[in-house]
A and B are shown apart, each in its own frame.
Chain A
Amino acid sequence: MDKSYSVVHRSLAKIDALGLIQGKPAYTDDLAPGDALVVKLLRSPYAFAKIKSIDKSQALAVGGVACILDWKDVPRIPYTRAGQGHPEPSPHDRFILDNYVRYIGDEVAIVAAEDEATAEKAISLIKVEYEILEPLLDFEKAIDNTVVVHPESEIHDMFPIGFEPGRNIAASYKMRIGDVEKELNASDVVLRRSFFTQAQAHVAMEPHAAFASLDIHGRLVIVSSTQNPFHTRRLLAQSLGIPIRDLRVVKPRIGGGFGGKQHIHVEPFVALVALATKRSARIALTRKEVFESTFTRHRMRIDIEAGANRNGVLNVMDVRVLSDTGAYGEHALTVFMVAGSKTLPLYNKMKAVGYGGAVVYTNHLSAGAFRGYGAIQGNFALESMMDEIAHEIHMDPIEFRERNMIREGQTSEVFKIMGEGSEGVEMVIESCKLDRCIARGRELIGWDPKRLSWEVSPGIVRAHGMAIAMQGSGIPLVDMGSATLELQDGGWFKLRVGATDLGTGSDTILAQIAAEALGVGPEDIKVYASDTDHSPFDVGAYASSTTYVSGNAVLKTALAMRKVLVEAVAEKYALKPECVEFDGKNFFGPEGAMLTNLVDLSFDTLYHDRALMKTLSSTASFTGGKAPPPYMAGFAEIEVDLGTGKVKLLRYAAVVDCGTTINPNLARIQVEGGLLQGIGMALFERVVFGDRGKLMTNSLSRYAIPSREDVGEIIVEFAESYEPSGPYGAKSVGEIGIDTPPAAIANAIYNAIGVRLPQTPFTSDVVWKAILEHDPRPTTPKNLRPQTQLPR
């Protein structure tokens, strides 16, 4: 392993930083043509209803209205809005518009007008007669309910995912390793707990936006704030019933995604208007629309039955999950599976593991991909449970984890059995510094198992809590990324990638990888991404795939480019390629004789070398045979006011193993940002639905994402680690930061007040109630929600 890097493992500024900071027009809605029609959507006021009739006549009579489309005017093709690979593991249960509406905010009609005010006026004049249906709002009662969210016959799955719409089941799954019952019976201690997580909102700062136009060839060009242009192109073509070749999808700068833009939310509407009117059409959602009508995190109930011995051996876990996918089944099965597949391998020595359950339809807005993708829900349950067991057997929660957790060189049967929607891939862990992450984290926070809580003044208690986590690096043998390098006159390179920088800095780290491999400076790599007409294929930015999958693709491409350059010089000087050396600037022949330099070569191959002239380029793709997990340990120090229930996060220490950090600053910010979203889920982001299914927390006045005053010190460090299969030893780092805060903070609250909070978020009222109900000397922890059992 060569660790003397010159461009990677350096904290370069993002290549687009100064332009963005100065507010240059760069995002989708900044770039929309001024004469584009403004598209607005009429949305359902009911959680479940059948559209009996739509009268558009008055609305169409308004001057400046260009078109109004309802369900009768658009193709009736079932598809999925989930931006996933092909065939999608999500059911095709959605039409662009339907004569049923399934949540408050579901689309009813598309209105295009010369300006926003006209579009809104037209919307107010559309008369819709609804047959209001009884909505299904309690996900714990969804299975076999008399209300069926999806009675239509055309919807289908793409391969077996346990899809039973007649029973309100979007997907189901079950797996077993070993004899769960036997191990439970043989354990000294058996605990059963239920955990609940809320339907967290992404709140990417840029609301979803797109614009569409027909180019000179009549092809539909969509510019969109999407995380996955290629999936968007494929799904959009399918939903519109047009050939993929007639579509081009372009991604400009993106104002944050976090999974929220891994879906088709706005593109079909502008596409249909452009096709109908032959004019450009633009849409930008309002924040209310983003809250009410895009996706959320899947809310889950997770029941765990666990058995351990008093000597600290964890024997078995049986996990049953019920997940609420809302009105449509985007990412239903895969998020559900990741709640197990990216948590259970943390404890790979269990003799038996059970995992199963169902993902159900309700009349809430849909759930979809969201950073963590099930792992944060599963981690909250698993890592709360680990503390529960540790308390029960009177062992330091850290020691209990260390006795049972995965180590470098080991594997887990779960890797092979559970993938995302299908079987997984066998994987031996070649880089895992969890032990060092824990050791450093406990040092940073000052962990003392004999003093996990202490009173600082009357009624004010401080406490520590911790959790460990893993994520992935792309989906093995599913995700693929590609890159193309091309030498340009002047001796610099165009790097074209299909990878999708959402603001994470991935374009920058991909340029760093290319520059390192070529031996050139980072300024000599100009990145262009991502445009389905001009970028090579890449699945896009999700599943923590970019650094590992797209990064490896760029590395392969750059190494191939070196070979192309050397071969071109060899041909030019009639030498064997193995006699030519390239140091990033100059080419040398036998005995170190200088042949030419990169700048001269670039002009010669394009302008001077007559019959030898050619474009020097390389393209390569990468798909991971495995997905090496990044790991981390998170430690919280909190302060609880026993009089009010207010929990303050004073410090959070996170130590991460993501292999080599290609750009240490950007890796750090990924973790810091992920942590704060996890902290938001744990402490602030309460989701409230009204009793008719209305999302009450539908604005930033009502839905509290953390501000910079809401947290104390956040300390992020990286454990020294090297992943042999990663580009320059790197693993991905986009999601891992979000996973630990819910469990670590819940564990700290338990240590402070002696009550187990099984449901996020832990807002003051919840904690205060827990304190009031608290038995001053608890022998067993209280579980605040009543215990009913989920079916095995």
Chain B
Amino acid sequence: MILSCTVNKKPVRLECEPGEALADVLRAAGYKEVKKACGTGNCGLCTILLDEVPVASCSIFAARAEGRAITTIQGLKKEAEELGAYIAAEGAEQCGYCSPGFVLTALAMEREFRAQGMGRFDELAARHYLAGNLCRCSGYQGHMRALKKYWEARNG
């Protein structure tokens, strides 16, 4: 079957099978920035934005994306580069395999926190929002240092 949707604002028609996970369809179509690590929706590496909401693309049927807007990290290059510079300044990306999913979720978090009118960076709230984005290399501390500095630079 054919899935019609937009990926990074570009209309696409992707071939997929009934029951196939969105992550597999996207990777097969060349969107290699969507990483796969657990296949059970636990680790957050395959996160994409579906109509602006972060979802684990390994745990959602491709067909559910019909007519909707998919955003991968490549669709938010500028934003990813800005936040990425803070992560890189801490050395916190380490192997980098979890970074695309983590950065997408963090950008979605920033938007939500702003909409809620968050002033100072609330680290506990951020840890909670991002708890589904696992990382085995960094110990998370560098991520949080980077997010705090990024938030303070932009929202301080």
The proximity string for B residues 127-156 relative to A, scoring 1 for CB distances below 8 Å and 0 otherwise, is: 110111111111111111000000000000
How far, in angstroms, from A672 to B95 measured CA to CA in the complex? 14
B88 touches A699 (CB 8 A): no
B38 at interface by CB-CB < 8 Å: yes
With A205-B43, A672-B141, A672-B142 in contact, is A20–B134 under 8 Å at CB? no
The proximity string for B residues 67-111 relative to A, scoring 1 for CB distances below 8 Å and 0 otherwise, is: 000001110010011001101111111111111100100000000
Measured CB to CB, the closest approach of chain B to A675, in angstroms, equals 6
Q: A residues bordering B, Cβ < 8 Å?
A: 11, 13-14, 16-27, 30, 116-117, 202-207, 253-256, 258, 284, 286-288, 502-505, 663, 665-666, 668-669, 672-677, 699-701, 705, 707-709, 711, 714, 716
Q: Which of A18, A27, A206, A708 contacts B127 (CB 8 A)?
A: A708
| Additional pairs, 17, CB under 8 Å, beyond known A26-B96, A205-B43 | A13-B88, A17-B93, A18-B84, A21-B80, A22-B81, A23-B35, A255-B96, A503-B95, A505-B94, A665-B89, A665-B91, A673-B137, A675-B139, A676-B139, A708-B131, A708-B133, A708-B144
B66 at interface by CB-CB < 8 Å: no
Measured CB to CB, the closest approach of chain A to B28, in angstroms, equals 9
Measured CB to CB, the closest approach of chain A to B123, in angstroms, equals 10
Q: Which of A23, A27, A258 has the most CB of B within 10 A?
A: A23
Within 8 Å CB of A23, what residues of B? 32-35, 72-74, 80, 99-100
A206 touches B95 (CB 8 A): yes
Measured CB to CB, the closest approach of chain A to B53, in angstroms, equals 19
| 13 A-B residue pairs with CB within 8 Å | A20-B96, A22-B77, A23-B99, A205-B136, A256-B137, A502-B95, A504-B137, A672-B139, A672-B140, A700-B38, A708-B131, A709-B128, A716-B141
A27 touches B128 (CB 8 A): no
Residue of B nearest to A15 (CB): B88
B37 touches A205 (CB 8 A): yes
Within 8 Å CB of B17, what residues of A? 117
How far, in angstroms, from A666 to B90 measured CA to CA in the complex? 8
Within 8 Å CB of A709, what residues of B? 127-128, 131
With A21-B103, A669-B94, A700-B43 in contact, is A258–B136 under 8 Å at CB? yes
With A23-B35, A117-B17 in contact, is A205–B98 under 8 Å at CB? yes
Measured CB to CB, the closest approach of chain B to A289, in angstroms, equals 10
Q: Is the interface of B mostly helix, strand, loop or mixed?
A: loop
Within 8 Å CB of A30, what residues of B? 32
B93 touches A20 (CB 8 A): yes
Q: Which of B38, B39, B74, B140 contacts A708 (CB 8 A)?
A: B140
With A22-B74, A30-B32 in contact, is A503–B39 under 8 Å at CB? no
Within 8 Å CB of A663, what residues of B? 91
Closest 9 pairs (CB-CB, A-B):
A503-B95, A20-B96, A23-B33, A255-B97, A672-B139, A17-B88, A23-B100, A21-B84, A700-B42
How far, in angstroms, from A439 to B122 measured CA to CA in the complex? 32
B99 touches A676 (CB 8 A): no
Within 8 Å CB of A505, what residues of B? 91, 94
Measured CB to CB, the closest approach of chain B to A239, in angstroms, equals 27
Residue of B nearest to A204 (CB): B136
Residue of A nearest to B143 (CB): A708
B94 touches A504 (CB 8 A): yes
Measured CB to CB, the closest approach of chain A to B108, in angstroms, equals 15
Within 8 Å CB of B88, what residues of A? 13-14, 17-18, 21
Measured CB to CB, the closest approach of chain B to A714, in angstroms, equals 5
How far, in angstroms, from A30 to B72 measured CA to CA in the complex? 15
B45 at interface by CB-CB < 8 Å: yes
The proximity string for B residues 19-48 relative to A, scoring 1 for CB distances below 8 Å and 0 otherwise, is: 000001000000011111111101101000
Number of A-B contacts (CB under 8 A): 180
With A503-B96, A505-B94, A700-B134 in contact, is A205–B45 under 8 Å at CB? yes
Measured CB to CB, the closest approach of chain B to A117, in angstroms, equals 7
How far, in angstroms, from A192 to B93 measured CA to CA in the complex? 44
Within 8 Å CB of B132, what residues of A? 707
How far, in angstroms, from A49 to B2 measured CA to CA in the complex? 44
A22 touches B33 (CB 8 A): yes
Within 8 Å CB of B81, what residues of A? 18, 21-22
Measured CB to CB, the closest approach of chain B to A274, in angstroms, equals 21
B42 touches A669 (CB 8 A): no
How far, in angstroms, from A255 to B38 measured CA to CA in the complex? 13
Measured CB to CB, the closest approach of chain A to B15, in angstroms, equals 11
With A672-B142, A700-B38 in contact, is A21–B134 under 8 Å at CB? no
A17 touches B97 (CB 8 A): no
Within 8 Å CB of B128, what residues of A? 709
With A17-B84, A22-B73 in contact, is A253–B96 under 8 Å at CB? yes
How far, in angstroms, from A711 to B87 measured CA to CA in the complex? 20
Residue of A nearest to B98 (CB): A205
Q: Which of B32, B38, B80, B90 contacts A669 (CB 8 A)?
A: B90
B90 touches A665 (CB 8 A): yes
Q: Which of B35, B39, B94, B103 has the most CB of A within 10 A?
A: B94
Residue of A nearest to B132 (CB): A707
Measured CB to CB, the closest approach of chain A to B21, in angstroms, equals 11
How far, in angstroms, from A16 to B42 measured CA to CA in the complex? 27
How far, in angstroms, from A705 to B135 measured CA to CA in the complex? 9
Measured CB to CB, the closest approach of chain A to B150, in angstroms, equals 12
Within 8 Å CB of A503, what residues of B? 94-97, 137
Residue of A nearest to B77 (CB): A22
Q: Which of A11, A26, A117 contacts B91 (CB 8 A)?
A: A11
